[in-house]
Chain A
Amino acid sequence: MSATTAAAVTPEPGHGPDQPPSALKARLGLTNGWGEWLRARGVYLALIVLVAYNALFTFNFLTLATIQLLFAQLPPVIIVSLGMALVIGTGGVDLSVGAIMAIASAVLARFVLAPGDGGLGASIGVAMLFAVVAGVLVGAFNGTVVAVARVQPIVATLGMLVAGRGIALVITGGALIELFVPFFRTVRLGKLLGVPYVMWVAAILAVAAAILVRRSAFGYRLLAIGGNRRASVLAGLPVQRTLITVYAISGGLAAVAGVIATARLRASDPSFTGLLIELTAITAVVVGGGALAGGQVRILGTVVGAVFIQLLETTLVSHNVPDSGARIVEALIIIAAIYVQRSRSTS
């Protein structure tokens, strides 16, 4: 995690009024001091406030059990949000992540089930591999529709949102499939240095995503396309290939989240696995300071955004706020987050 921290908190080069215009400056926008600070770092402040509030007013908050619960709930949200951050960085959006989670879960179930139960009797490793491959393929299909057919991302992934859950239901025959896999116990309960395995997976993926965005040519292409697609085409960047890859990554990450969710549930439930997670993921990216217009990816901000939203939900639940109230609060937070960002979009 420290790698992402360093990368995201260090002031961006070229981000000052005196320096000559640079690609970085352009993609950060020319917003001024306080507003810019609040926009980019507000989520850290918000998280600190929320943690402080809980430490003071929530009974039993500062216990291992609470943190364990949070660690168990967080990984799928974080992993999906990472993919969403990349897609939003290209100026797109991926509404199909929840459906892809369901597809991955269904594929996993079909591979793992014994041949007598209508499955393939594969080992859990093979099953997980194919589940992720399925996610990558669906994502690549999304990317192709967006990049080659040039359909708006909202509509393209909307079609997959509708069709994808149907595909998952077709794969499992429309029913919830209970899975008795010993490995799932390891996924649920296994720990390294006191931190659950799944949390490590999320952390490693976050670091990988940060390196991809900040240190690779692919990352720069991604940001360039999000900043100005036409210019990227004219500059000779492989726009289509890059976009397809980004959506494929998002699909693959969603599939990983689907596998984790399945392990937690000990069953494949295509009707509910990943339902509405696209909203949470988009919120995490936006709250984390990502610009919907594209051209910018904040990995650490996104992770903190995801933690913030999950912790907010936990807080509301532990204070007996009903689910309805939690939804209303979440809506207000989304609006507040983009309102703080407004300075960028209007500049």
Chain B
Amino acid sequence: MTVDRDEVRASADGSGVAAVAPDRGGRAADLLRTRNLTSVVSRNAAVVGLAVVVIVGIVVVPTFGSVDNFRNVALAASFIAIIAVGMTFVIINGGIDLSVGSTYALAVILSAMMSPYGSIAAVLVPLLVTAAVGLLQGLIIARLRLPAFIVTLAGLTGIRGLVFLITHEGNDVPQIPGFKVFEILGTGSFLGIGNPVWIAIVLFAIGWWVLNRTAFGQSVQAVGGNAQAAELMGLPVRRTTATVYVISGLCAGIAGVLTTALSGGGQEARIGDAYELQAIAAVVIGGTLLSGGVGSMVGTAAGIALLFVIQNLIVQGANLNSYVQQVVSGGFLLIVVILQATVSRRSGKAT
């Protein structure tokens, strides 16, 4: 049915020419253009939405547009933004990582725990451990071919258990003793913008480059699009799949270390609860399909910004409490995914 409609539209577009000589190639090109247009809109919906929300926010809410406010929103968003970089790789690869909130908490606690042994230990130990945690889950998913959803669900439970174990059931939250150099990573700033924000920006840039300009990135997309075809093409499917979970664990680790660097430790063992949901929401809002194969790092960046800007607007403008924010965040996620599913189905049917 949709094909018919598109064909009608295509011939109406080039009405004069089409009437004289029905050109199959031209019609195909028109079809292609229609499809590209919808997919371009759906893929950049987060960027467009962000622009609209920011402009409306500046006009409607006076306190929203201040430089200080933007600085604060960016700093608050940077941690989940870093987690979302890893999540983008996982989801494009066709998987999902529900364990990032717990992995993040593990890094937060380990970093503070290691800080007495120096800044290098406080940074490297958590990163090594979170990478190992990611590798373990990745190997289980890739080698044993178990569903990522369940493996990382077990990760969510098990890693959080580990966090409570090393903090003696959450009673013993480590602090950074005195000043350590690595705290600059969290507390310092450059050009008036906090270091975690810069680190997030750099990681997004690296993520974009790896995803779009390297053989590994192409493998990630190919595996997510069709794992069997990728296997037949001779791509290292298992290695690629295992690697994206290492990236995801590492990103959660970086975010955790930065959190400890910013706060000086003393974070409770419950930290990072439900961060996986926010990261997944940002990735999905950014136009990355959960079915894998298609996704964009720029979209994720816009998605995370959109989530935090909306939360900020709710707090600043409407002065709503935290549970109304929850309703708005969840409702917003639902609206976006419904629109996305509808648009992608339309364009899918036209082929």
Q: Knowing A163-B326, A282-B153 touch, does A155 contact B161 (C-beta < 8 A)?
A: no
Task: Specify the chain A residue showing the minimal Cβ separation from B323.
Answer: A169
Enumerate chain B residues within 8 angstroms of A161, measured Cβ to Cβ.
Answer: 277, 330
Q: Does A326 contact B (CB under 8 A)?
A: yes
Bound: A324/B162 CA distance, A? 6
Select one of B156, B159, B329 contacting A162, CB under 8 A.
B329
Q: How many residues of A contact B (CB 8 A)?
A: 43
Select one of B144, B281, B284, B341 contacting A150, CB under 8 A.
B341
Bound: A142/B100 CA distance, A? 25
By secondary structure, the B interface counts as: helix
> Which residues from chain B sit less than 8 Å from chain A, CB to CB?
96, 140, 144-147, 149-151, 153-165, 169, 274, 277, 280-281, 284, 290-291, 321, 323-331, 333-334, 337-338, 340-342, 345
Q: Once the chains bind, are A325 and B327 in contact (CB under 8 Å)?
A: no
Q: Does A17 contact B (CB under 8 A)?
A: no
User: Which of B165, B328, B330, B340 has the largest number of chain A CB atoms within 10 A?
Assistant: B330
C-beta contact mask, A256-299 vs B, less than 8 Å → 1, else 0? 00000000000000000000000100100010000010000000
Q: Does A60 contact B (CB under 8 A)?
A: no
Q: Does A43 contact B (CB under 8 A)?
A: no
Q: Once the chains bind, are B342 and A338 in contact (CB under 8 Å)?
A: no
Enumerate chain A residues within 8 angstroms of B146, measured Cβ to Cβ.
Answer: 335, 338-339, 342, 345
Task: Specify the chain B residue showing the minimal Cβ separation from A270.
Answer: B323
Select one of A158, A163, A345 contacting B280, CB under 8 A.
A158
B-contacting residues, A311-326, CB 8 Å:
322-326
Q: Knowing A167-B327, A170-B323 touch, does A334 contact B338 (C-beta < 8 A)?
A: no
Enumerate chain B residues within 8 angstroms of A166, measured Cβ to Cβ.
Answer: 323-330
Enumerate chain B residues within 8 angstroms of A326, measured Cβ to Cβ.
Answer: 161
Enumerate chain A residues within 8 angstroms of B163, measured Cβ to Cβ.
Answer: 324
Q: Once the chains bind, are B161 and A334 in contact (CB under 8 Å)?
A: no
Enumerate chain B residues within 8 angstroms of A155, measured Cβ to Cβ.
Answer: 280, 284, 290, 333, 337
Enumerate chain A residues within 8 angstroms of B277, measured Cβ to Cβ.
Answer: 158, 161-162
Select one of B155, B281, B325, B328 contacting A158, CB under 8 A.
B281
Bound: A93/B163 CA distance, A? 27
> Which residues from chain A sit less than 8 Å from chain B, CB to CB?
93, 145, 149-152, 154-156, 158-167, 169-170, 174, 279, 282, 286, 292, 322-328, 330-332, 334-335, 338-339, 342, 345-346
Enumerate chain B residues within 8 angstroms of A334, measured Cβ to Cβ.
Answer: 150, 153-154, 157
Enumerate chain B residues within 8 angstroms of A152, measured Cβ to Cβ.
Answer: 290-291, 337
Bound: A158/B340 CA distance, A? 16
Select one of B151, B157, B280, B290 contacting A330, CB under 8 A.
B157
Select one of A163, A324, A335 contacting B327, CB under 8 A.
A163
Enumerate chain B residues within 8 angstroms of A145, measured Cβ to Cβ.
Answer: 334, 337-338
Enumerate chain B residues within 8 angstroms of A345, measured Cβ to Cβ.
Answer: 145-147
Bound: A182/B164 CA distance, A? 39
Enumerate chain A residues within 8 angstroms of B281, measured Cβ to Cβ.
Answer: 158-159, 162
Enumerate chain B residues within 8 angstroms of A93, measured Cβ to Cβ.
Answer: 149
Cβ distance B145 to chain A, nearest Cβ, rounded Å:
6
Q: Once the chains bind, are A156 and B165 in contact (CB under 8 Å)?
A: no
Q: Once the chains bind, are B144 and A342 in contact (CB under 8 Å)?
A: yes
Bound: A324/B158 CA distance, A? 8
Bound: A165/B322 CA distance, A? 11
Q: Once the chains bind, are A163 and B331 in contact (CB under 8 Å)?
A: yes
Task: Specify the chain A residue showing the minimal Cβ separation from B161.
Answer: A327
Q: Once the chains bind, are B153 and A279 in contact (CB under 8 Å)?
A: yes
User: Which of B96, B290, B326 has the largest number of chain A CB atoms within 10 A?
Assistant: B326
Q: Once the chains bind, are A150 and B345 in contact (CB under 8 Å)?
A: yes
Select one of A154, A286, A335 contacting B96, CB under 8 A.
A154
Bound: A162/B145 CA distance, A? 30
Shortest 5 CB-CB contacts between residues of A and residues of B: A163-B330, A331-B158, A166-B326, A327-B161, A169-B323
Q: Knowing A165-B326, A338-B147 touch, does A324 contact B164 (C-beta < 8 A)?
A: yes
Q: Knowing A93-B149, A335-B146 touch, does A327 contact B157 (C-beta < 8 A)?
A: yes
Bound: A169/B320 CA distance, A? 13
Complex A-B: 22 CB contacts under 8 Å: A145-B337, A145-B338, A149-B338, A149-B342, A150-B345, A154-B149, A158-B280, A158-B281, A160-B330, A160-B334, A162-B274, A163-B326, A166-B330, A170-B323, A170-B327, A286-B150, A322-B164, A322-B165, A327-B161, A330-B154, A331-B157, A331-B159
Task: Specify the chain B residue showing the minimal Cβ separation from A172.
Answer: B323
Task: Specify the chain A residue showing the minimal Cβ separation from B155.
Answer: A331
Q: Knowing A152-B290, A338-B147 touch, does A327 contact B334 (C-beta < 8 A)?
A: no
Task: Specify the chain A residue showing the minimal Cβ separation from B160.
Answer: A327
Cβ distance A165 to chain B, nearest Cβ, rounded Å:
6
Enumerate chain A residues within 8 angstroms of B327, measured Cβ to Cβ.
Answer: 163, 166-167, 170
Bound: A164/B331 CA distance, A? 9
Cβ distance B313 to chain A, nearest Cβ, rounded Å:
16
Select one of B151, B165, B337 contacting A151, CB under 8 A.
B337
Bound: A182/B153 CA distance, A? 39
Cβ distance B155 to chain A, nearest Cβ, rounded Å:
7
Q: Once the chains bind, are B169 and A163 in contact (CB under 8 Å)?
A: no
Enumerate chain A residues within 8 angstroms of B345, measured Cβ to Cβ.
Answer: 150
Bound: A158/B153 CA distance, A? 14
